[in-house]
Structure 1
Amino acid sequence: MNLKQLRYVVEIVKNANHLSAAAEALNTSQPGVSRQIQLLEAELGFAIFVRANNRFTGLTEGGEHVFAIAQRALAEVNALRGLKEDMGSGGKGNLIVATTHTQARYFLPPIIERFLERHPNVRLTLKQGDPAYACELVGAGEADLAIGAEPIRVFPQLISLPCAELRRSVIAKTGHPILEVEPLTLAAVAAHPIVTYDRRYSGHWIVMQAFAQAGLEPKIMLSAVDADVCKAYVESGLGIAILSSLTFDPKRDADLRMRDASHIFPSSVVNISLRTNSYLRPIILDFVRAVAPHLTPRVVSDALLAATASAKAG
């Protein structure tokens, strides 16, 4: 077996078991990918993928273990490449941050600006998606860290360290009656059409759970993956939005108004997610501290050691 074969396994799973899509992503041929998987299965002595009509439909029980090991192996290889960069870069290097739109658009710009002032020779890349996608990239070794709210599903190969709190507000068009209601209650908010985050984001479920616990069923007019889209439809008069307070910019959102709603909707926690059992380059640790000053290299190291020990004990 070899790293290429393990990379093929990971890429096939990432592409929903579609060989053609995996081959395209790997810049190779579909027969070549299929052949390498067959060779790996022959060497292991069991099937990695479930097949139906000559198509992959999922992972076998053994395949689940192969996939997990392949992800760890590739992540470690990427870590070695990072170490090589650090040892011979003279302050240069690449840093890949996976994050959500809200963090990339509103939370990270001033942090990244200050970070790059201190590290002018570092090339920083942002990869955007929903929280689960960001964590997937880190787990696969395709990003150094993820920044975002808690994903819907669990990623046992990662550790999440809280770095910020996101309070919620109601955002409405200037003159909207919700801006004058006293006191602001869940019932008052539910009386109007609502624009909010897509269900892939924890913000959606936190808001919906608050309504459900109050016995209310709001009318969701629109769900979107980013706050800017939500605000655009609020400006069009289609409803009010329940968004993270940091997404409101008084200068850019001149036709809108924000009203604090943290007393009726719980806050979200923004996490920095890192791979356990992985070498963290100094540039990664420095960026983590730039995002959250309390997350010093010692704090991060202790948290990773604790997570590793817990995993071994389990």
Structure 2
Amino acid sequence: MARDLSLRKLRYFLAVAKCGRVTQAAIDLNVSQSSITTGVKEIEEQAGVALFQRTSRGMLLTREGTRFLQRVNYAFQALDDAFDSLQDTHTRLEGNLCLAMTYTVAGYFFPPLLAQFQRRYPGVKLHLSEASRPEIEQGLKSGEFDLAIVLTSNIEHHHWLEKMTLTKSRRRLWVASHHELLNKGKLTLKDIAHYPYIMLTVDEADQTALKYWKPEGVSPDVMFRTSSVEAVRSMVANGTGITILSDMVYRPWSLDGKRIEHIELSNAIPSMEIGLSWPKNRPLTPSAKAFCNLAEALIK
């Protein structure tokens, strides 16, 4: 059966899936809220399933919506590839690029960007490294790395480093689908301080968390520390504890199929910022510059 799924409607769906709110999606795309609502509703009617669960906290992807999101992302990737295939000048760039990244970047941000770069610049040989922020900064200083993709919000007091923030991912409270906090209305860090907390430690997440807990005069009741995002996800989904993490690593389902909800807190919790970094005193190589330009065009 033919489906009139225009690119415009699909972009509306992507925008809502990304931010979780029709109002914000309308602002991001500079269209009316009614256009967003109508477009998403028409897709759902044509698909015959609900892609979002409408709640007081916003639009949450259903299981079918999560699967559809993956397919739509593939479709837009294929469209980008089609345009890239027409631009033969991209294939002329040759050279090497030593690129470093942190754990979170490698798992949740980098793969689509890498695939796009490889297709656009097949003549560039990539040397990829995953490392901690201090190791990456040392590698940039010594010349081991040409460029790095890092959590730019974690870079502090390094006057010799350039940084280009590409995107920001807000942090929200994660709870199990049956958790009592879902019925509490507006919440602050003080309201959740006595609940068992699952603390992620990778990419300095624990140190970052304490920076926004401390000014409130409270601290989380940490029952478990782990470097595994999937461990955090599963423990939260099963009701063992709660956590605060960024939307970038949020998924509504744990590996064992249990639902995770996220809640906006009233406190001013800083977003996680992701971007590029390189030494100020060393010009970017042509390959590194091409990567920066591509990343900025695709993500900003």
- Please give the TM-score of this superposition, normalised by the length of structure 1: 0.57
Give the one of 150, 165, 168 matched to 2:168: 165
- How many angstroms does 1:193 deviate by? 1.3
Amino acid at match of 1:215: G
- C-alpha deviation, 1:257, in angstroms: 1.4
- The aligned residue for residue 189 of structure 1 is 192
Opposite residue 112 of structure 2, the aligned amino acid is: P
| Partner Cα distance (1:236, 1:123) in 2 | 44
Partners of 2:285 and 2:275 lie apart in 1 by 19
**Partner residue of 1:215?**
217
The answer for the alignment partner of 1:287 in structure 2 is 291
Letter in 2 for 1:293: A
> Structure 2 vs 1, CA of residues 192 and 199 (structure 1 numbering), >3 Å: closer, same or farther?
same
For 1:271, which of 264, 275, 284 is the aligned residue? 275
Question: 1:236 deviation in Å?
Answer: 5.2
Instruction: Encode CA deviations 1:13-61: one digit per residue, 9 max, x unaligned.
Output: xxxxxxxxxxxxxxxxxxxxxxxxxxxxxxxxxxxxxxxxxxxxxxxxx
Identity of aligned residues (%): 25
Q: How does 1:146-161 map to 2 (within 5 A)?
A: 146-149=148-151, 150-151=153-154, 154-161=157-164
Question: Contact (CA 8 Å) 2:197, 2:223: kept in 1 or not?
Answer: yes
- Going from structure 1 to structure 2, the CA distance change for 1:179 and 1:126 (only over 3 Å counts) comes to farther
Q: Given residue 257 of structure 1, which amino acid in structure 2 is its aligned partner?
A: I
Cα separation, 1, equivalents of 2:265 and 2:235: 22
**Aligned partners of 1:134 and 1:146 also within 8 Å:** yes
Per-residue CA deviations over 1:151-177 (Å, capped at 9, x if unaligned) read 465434322222221210222233122
AA aligned to 1:191 is H
1:123 to 122, 125, 128: 125
User: Max radius of gyration: which structure?
Assistant: 1
Q: Equivalent of 1:244, from 239, 243, 246?
A: 246
> What is the alpha-carbon distance in structure 2 between the residues aligned to residue 217 and residue 124 of structure 1?
42
Shift of the 152–92 alpha-carbon distance from structure 1 to 2, 3 Å rule, reads: closer
Letter in 2 for 1:126: L
Q: 1:105 maps to what in 2? A: 107
CA distance in 1 between counterparts of 2:231 and 2:254 reads 13
TM-superposed deviation, 1:99: 1.4
Alpha carbons 1:96, 1:144 under 8 Å: kept: yes
Match of 1:305 in 2: none
The aligned residue for residue 183 of structure 2 is: 180
One-letter code aligned to 1:274: W
Shift of 1:123: 3.0
262-271 or 186-195, which moves further after superposition? 262-271
Asked whether the 8 Å contact 1:163–1:292 carries over to 2, the reply is yes
> Unaligned stretches of 5+ in structure 1?
1-88, 297-314
* Residue 131 of structure 1, CA deviation: 2.1
The range that moved more, 192-201 or 134-143, is 192-201
C-alpha distance 188-141 of structure 1, shift in aligned 2 (>3 A): same
Amino acid at match of 2:130: Q
